[in-house]
Amino acid sequence: MMGGFGQKPVSSGPHERRKIPMPEIIIVKNEAEAGEIYGRCVADLIKAKPNAVLGLATGSSPLAAYQALAKIVHDESIDVSQVSGYALDEYIGLPLTHPESYHATIHRTVVEPLGLDPSKVHVPGDVLNGTPLEDGDKVALAGPAYDRAIEAAGGIDVQILGIGTDGHVGFNEPGSSLASGTRVKTLAEQTRVDNARFFDNDINQVPTHCITQGIGTIMKARHLVLLAFGAGKAEAIEETVEGGVSAFCPASALQMHPHATIIVDEEAASRLRHKDYYRYAYTHKPAWQGI
């Protein structure tokens, strides 16, 4: 399956402007341009649906997107009091107050800049709050409870995603079931190496386990927006967009989603065989389609 192909019919609402059978690939100059595209999309969604449910991710890739959205929200005085959010994942064993917990990170990078109601923004580890992995009864129940909470909220409208160098999304490492729900996972060594930069470059400080939305949970969101920047993500993007759908590149499941958008810079797009077509398709798409 190749991203960017397929018909794009008009859909029934402003936050579901198009439904296509494969991802749309947008190649941008830099992270700021990608952020503007995401920010405009989500701002328009909130205007049309004040109680929108946002899927949130941590890491460096979404930061420009959150900054762009915050600027639009403030510049256009958009009411976000009813907006709720559900994060992708959380480390197991870190208290919520730890600066690198995803509870703290989401509060710092999303809740405060956008002015969201903190009581409406959730991470999978909220009920754990540092519970050790050994407390199996409590840890095992947290994942299914999180999936039920998302369903009770009406499901996620727009889920933002980053991608790991090995093709993981959330903390769904290679080999993760494409039908998986929120559950406990063991972090791959490469993921811990990549994330050590947030822990004083000391891999020994990086937890070995996490709780993460599964690929099956992620795929239930109505719109997926994946961001990737830099040459280090080029191979993962190639496999995601133009490779086969496989659990060994979990992000490749996006090929099966009815409304997925993949936004990459030139370096991350460098290995795509059909990048000229993706540029052409995006340049010539009607403005009313949005992303």
Enumerate the active-site residues: 89, 166, 168, 173
49: left (phi over 0), alpha (psi -120 to 50) or beta: beta
Contacts of 104 (CB under 8 A, 6+ apart): 96, 97, 98
Residue 242, CA distances (Å) to 30, 75, 94, 253 in order: 22, 38, 37, 11
What residue has token string 């239930």?
220
